[in-house]
Amino acid sequence: MAKACYALHLAWRGMRRHPRTSVMVVAVMALGLAACMSVLAIFHALTADPVPGRSGQTQTIIFPAKGQKLESIEALMPVGPVQQVVDRLPDLPVAAVASGTTRVRPSSDPSRKSESDTAVMFATARIPKVFGISLLRGHWWTAADDRNGAPVAVIGIDTARRLFGTDDVLGKSIRLDKKRFRVIGVHAAWRPALKFYSQRGGQYARDMAGVMVPLLSGDGVDVQMYGMSCPLSQLTDKWKQCRFSQLWSYGLDAGQRQRFLSVATQVVQGFYKPPPGVTPIAYQSRLLNVREWLILQHTVPDSVRAYVWVALAFLALCLLNAAGVLAARFLRRGAELGVRRALGASRRDVFVQHLIESGSLSMVAGVIALPLMLGAFSLMRAQNIPYGDLIRFNVSTFLALCVATLVTGLAVGVYPAWRAAVVPPALQVKQN
């Protein structure tokens, strides 16, 4: 204990003796840590597993023509064929999903101004099984409701409270755009880290679907959507031709996968039947799990990967710089160290003393890096970047910073401290 205190005391003296290099080491390490950790935090947020434990089992289907490059748009199909696929596989956990935003309000209260741009998910009956959404009240709609396009809705508990001020909303009605839907169920909050079932920029949206309705009931509702093949935001009359629905499945075994693939391909092939005499397109359908789907969509923008690489190199530069400065500083004390060694200090004592000195410098750097990171985050959030909403400082970011500080402190300190520890006492006394 006393020894540790002494080492600490020596470290403190060491820092005070070289205020200029101490400031430099701290500044350089703080900059390196802040820059690198900020970029890594963004990268982490963008690569987070949206459905932990399920993402490998959750698969979507994509329909590229033979020999064609895989493009995410090929996963989207018009509502007709996807509904048909779901109907033809009644025993499999398969559902069709389309998501977008529209105006939602309680229909009982016509005076209330409708909330604009509420996220709505249009889906088929087996969606709770496929995405793992649990129900709190009431019931989900049935396959028959799917086929009839029944105007019924299952809304999230948050949405229920926001619209009606209570959880007890069964039997009440809401209006999506101008169409009236009866609320038949309330589902638990469901917030994947990324809106993986959306397309393009929609994946970064923070608002998860708070309203779910049968796919075909969306006819006549004016919905704004990302990632359609028709660049229209008014779907009312284009509902039938536009490609914006996607099929998702969960936990299929090999045989079921095969069946899903062949049925879906058959349906799509039938839907896009060319006039007689023209060769039909040969589809090479594939299943993609959530991870593969996100990669295909470039959910992590390429620029972010470039920034990660630059930030890592920057951190390496900063650490090398700090290590160099510290090594020079420790070895300048050669004579004094020689005396200490000659007076009986062990190699370990000298090593620990210097490790503590560099460790405390890196600790200070870590503390300074924290406000730097917060500043960088708020600066980035203020910018108009698509994934801005995902950039936030949380506990895991803080813990990562602590670990990084510790590791860099060691990385920077071990080599110089070892160099200081191995100088033989006799030589040092003799020199200079």
Shorter beta-carbon distance to another protein: residue 164 or 415: 415
The minimum distance between CB 35 and another protein, in angstroms, equals 7
The minimum distance between CB 171 and another protein, in angstroms, equals 29
Positions in 315-334 near another protein (CB under 8 A): 316-318, 320-321, 323-325, 327-328, 331-332
The minimum distance between CB 234 and another protein, in angstroms, equals 4
Q: Are 81 and 60 in contact (CB under 8 A)?
A: no
Contact with another protein (CB under 8 A) among 231, 255, 274, 276: 231
Which residues, 6 or more positions from 395, have their beta carbon under 8 angstroms from its beta carbon?
none
**Under the criterion CB under 8 A, does residue 24 sit at the interface with another protein?**
yes
**Under the criterion CB under 8 A, does residue 306 sit at the interface with another protein?**
yes
Shorter beta-carbon distance to another protein: residue 310 or 407: 310
Structure token digits, residue 333: 């004390």
- Binding marks (x or -) toward another protein, 28..47, rule CB under 8 A? x--x---x------------
**Under the criterion CB under 8 A, does residue 17 sit at the interface with another protein?**
no
**Under the criterion CB under 8 A, does residue 422 sit at the interface with another protein?**
no
Please choose, out of 78-86, 138-146, 231-239, 267-275, the segment that lies near another protein by the rule CB under 8 A: 231-239
**Under the criterion CB under 8 A, does residue 419 sit at the interface with another protein?**
yes
Q: What is the CA radius of gyration of the chain?
A: 30
The minimum distance between CB 365 and another protein, in angstroms, equals 13
Q: Residue 238 and residue 376: Cα distance in Å, rounded?
A: 44
107: left (phi over 0), alpha (psi -120 to 50) or beta: alpha
**Under the criterion CB under 8 A, does residue 112 sit at the interface with another protein?**
no
**Under the criterion CB under 8 A, does residue 166 sit at the interface with another protein?**
no
Contact with another protein (CB under 8 A) among 234, 253, 274, 395: 234
Shorter beta-carbon distance to another protein: residue 4 or 317: 317
Which residues, 6 or more positions from 247, have their beta carbon under 8 angstroms from its beta carbon?
60, 61, 75, 77, 82, 85, 86, 94, 95, 96, 97, 264
- The residue count for binding another protein (CB under 8 A) is 43
The minimum distance between CB 37 and another protein, in angstroms, equals 15
Shorter beta-carbon distance to another protein: residue 188 or 422: 422
Q: Residue 330 and residue 261: Cα distance in Å, rounded?
A: 67
Positions in 379-398 near another protein (CB under 8 A): 379, 382-385
**Under the criterion CB under 8 A, does residue 313 sit at the interface with another protein?**
yes
The minimum distance between CB 288 and another protein, in angstroms, equals 17
CA atoms within 13 A on the CB side of 132: 12
Q: Residue 376 and residue 69: Cα distance in Å, rounded?
A: 38
Shorter beta-carbon distance to another protein: residue 129 or 419: 419
CB atoms within 10 A of CB 21: 17
Determine the distance from the C-alpha atom of residue 351 to the mean position of all C-alpha atoms in its chain, rounded to a whole number.
42
**Under the criterion CB under 8 A, does residue 281 sit at the interface with another protein?**
no
Please choose, out of 46-54, 66-74, 153-161, 232-240, the segment that lies near another protein by the rule CB under 8 A: 232-240
Shorter beta-carbon distance to another protein: residue 141 or 330: 330
Q: Residue 240 and residue 127: Cα distance in Å, rounded?
A: 21
- Return the DSSP state at 189: P
Please choose, out of 127-135, 282-290, 311-319, 343-351, the segment that lies near another protein by the rule CB under 8 A: 311-319
Structure token digits, residue 413: 């300190």
Compute φ and ψ for 334, nearest 5 degrees: -45, -50
**Under the criterion CB under 8 A, does residue 137 sit at the interface with another protein?**
no
List contacts with another protein (CB under 8 A).
21, 24, 28, 31, 35, 222, 230-234, 236, 302-303, 305-307, 309-310, 313-314, 316-318, 320-321, 323-325, 327-328, 331-332, 379, 382-385, 415, 419, 430-432
